[in-house]
Amino acid sequence: MRHLLSTRDLSRDEAIQILDVAEDMADVANREVKKLPTLRGKTVINLFFEDSTRTRTSFELAAKRLSADLVNFSAKGSSVSKGESLKDTAQTLAAVGADAVVIRHASSGAPQTLATSGWIDAAVLNAGDGTHEHPTQALLDAFTMRRRLHGAASRGKSLDGLTVTIVGDILHSRVARSNVWLLDTLGATVRLVAPATLLPADISTWPVTAGFDLDDAVDADPDVVMMLRIQAERMHAAFFPNAREYSRQWGLGDERLARLRPDTMVMHPGPMNRGLEISANAADSSRSTVLEQVANGVSVRMAVLYLLLSGSAEL
Amino acid sequence: MTYLITGATLPDGTTTDLLVDNGVIAETGSSLSQSGATVIDAAGLTALPGLVDLHTHLREPGFEQSETVLTGSRAAAIGGFTSVFAMANTSPVSDTAGVVEQVASLGVRAGYVTVRPIGAVTMGLKGEQLSEIGAMAQSRAQVRVFSDDGSCVHDSLLMRRALEYVKTFDGVIAQHAQDPRLTLGAQMNEGALSGELGLAGWPAVAEESIIARDVLLAQHVGARLHVCHVSTAGSVDVIRWAKARGIAVTAEVTPHHLLLTEDLVRTYDSRYKVNPPLRRTEDVMALREGLADGTIDIIATDHAPHPVEAKECAWDEAANGMVGLESALSVVHASVVASGQLDWSDVARVLSSKPAEIGRLSGYDAAFVVGSPANFTLYDASASRVFGTEHLHGKGVNSPYLERTLPGRVMATIHNGYATVLDGELLDAPTVAESARVHRG
Ligand SMILES: [Zn+2]
Judge if A7-134+294-309 and A135-293 fold alike in CATH terms.
yes
What element of type H or E holds B173? strand B172-175
Cis peptide before A271 (omega within 30 of 0): yes
Contact (Cβ atoms closer than 8 angstroms) between residue A22 and residue A302? yes
Domains parsed from chain B with CATH numbers? 2-46+371-427 (2.30.40.10), 50-358 (3.20.20.140)
Say whether B302 is catalytic: yes
Amino acid identity of residue B421, one-letter, is V
Say how far apart CA B348 and CA B54 lie, in whole Å.
14
Average pLDDT over residues A137-152: 97
The percent of residues in chain B predicted with pLDDT above 90, rounded, is 98
Q: How confident is the model at residue A136 (pLDDT cuts 50, 70, 90)?
A: very high
What is the rounded CA–CA span in Å between residue A126 and residue A139?
A: 12
Q: Over 60: is that where the pLDDT of A307 sits?
A: yes
Cα separation, A86 vs A114, in Å, equals 8
The residues pairing with A191 across neighbouring beta strands, listed in sequence order, are A165, A209
B268 touches chain A (CB under 8 A): yes
DSSP H or E segment with residue B201: strand B201-202
Please check whether residue A26 is in contact with residue A36, taking contact to mean a CB–CB distance below 8 angstroms.
Answer: no
The partner residues of B406 in beta bridges, in order of sequence, read: B385
Q: Taking 50 as the threshold, does the pLDDT of residue B95 lie above it? A: yes
For residues B269-278, one letter each, b for 16 or more C-beta atoms within 10 angstroms of the residue's C-beta and e for the rest, the string is bbbbbbbbbb
What's the pLDDT score for residue A74? 67
| Residues A84 and A109 sit within 8 Å (Cβ to Cβ) | no
Q: Is B198 on the interface with A (CB under 8 A)?
A: yes
Contacts of A77 (CB under 8 A, 6+ apart): none
> To which H or E segment does residue A25 belong?
helix A12-29
Residue B227: what residue type? V
Closest to A272 (Cα-Cα) out of A263, A261, A285: A285
d(CA B317, CA B159): 30
Contact (CB, 8 A) for B293 and B46 = no
Neighbours of A61 (CB within 10 A): 18
Cα–Cα distances in Å, from A138 out to A53, A109, A113? 18, 17, 21
Q: Dihedral of the CA atoms A14, A17, A19, A23 (nearest 10)?
A: -170
pLDDT of residue A82: 47
The pLDDT value recorded for residue A312 is: 59
CA distance A44 to A100: 5
What Cα–Cα distance (Å) separates residue A280 from each residue in A283, A284, B10?
A: 5, 6, 79
Q: Residue A166: what pLDDT?
A: 98
With CB atoms and an 8 Å threshold, state whether A130 touches B198. Answer: yes
CA of A262 to the centre of ligand 1 (A): 57
A210/B contact by beta carbon, under 8 A = no
Judge: B195–A201 Cβ closer than 8 Å, yes or no: yes
ipTM: 0.92
Nearest to residue B368, comparing CAs of B345, B342, B340? B345
Among 3.20.20.70, 1.10.3720.10, 3.40.50.1370, 3.30.465.10, name the CATH number for the domain at A135-293.
Answer: 3.40.50.1370
Domain ranges (residues) in chain A = 7-134+294-309, 135-293
Confidence band for A76, pLDDT divided at 50, 70 and 90: low
Q: Do A107 and B317 touch (CB under 8 A)?
A: yes
Per residue in A195-228, pLDDT (tens digit) is: 999 999 999 999 999 999 999 999 999 999 999 9
Q: Is the dihedral of CA B337, B341, B344, B349 positive or negative?
A: negative
Select from B49, B65, B53, B63 the least CA-distant residue to B10.
B49
Please give the pLDDT value at position A234. 79
Superfamily of structural domain A7-134+294-309: Aspartate/ornithine carbamoyltransferase (3.40.50.1370)
- Give the separation between CA B342 and CA B350, rounded to whole angstroms: 10
- In which element (H, E) is residue A148 found? helix A135-150
Chain A partners within 8 Å of B313 (Cβ): 85-87, 113
Could you list the beta-strand ranges (E) of B206-275.
225-227, 249-253
At residue B184, what is the residue type? L
Q: How far apart are CA B58 and CA B268, in angstroms?
A: 26
Separation in Å, CA of B304 to nearest CA in chain A: 21
Long-range contacts of A54-57 (CB under 8 A, 24+ apart): A54/A270, A54/A271, A54/A294, A55/A104, A55/A127, A55/A128, A55/A136, A55/A137, A55/A297, A56/A104, A56/A127
Among the partner-chain residues B200, B203, B313, the one whose CB lies closest to the CB of A85 is B313
Tell me whether residues B314 and A86 touch, CB distance under 8 A: yes
Q: What is the pLDDT of residue B64?
A: 97
| Overall pTM > 0.90 | yes
User: Please, are residues B141 and B114 in contact by the beta-carbon 8 Å criterion?
Assistant: no
**How many angstroms does the Cα of residue A236 sit away from the middle of ligand 1?**
29
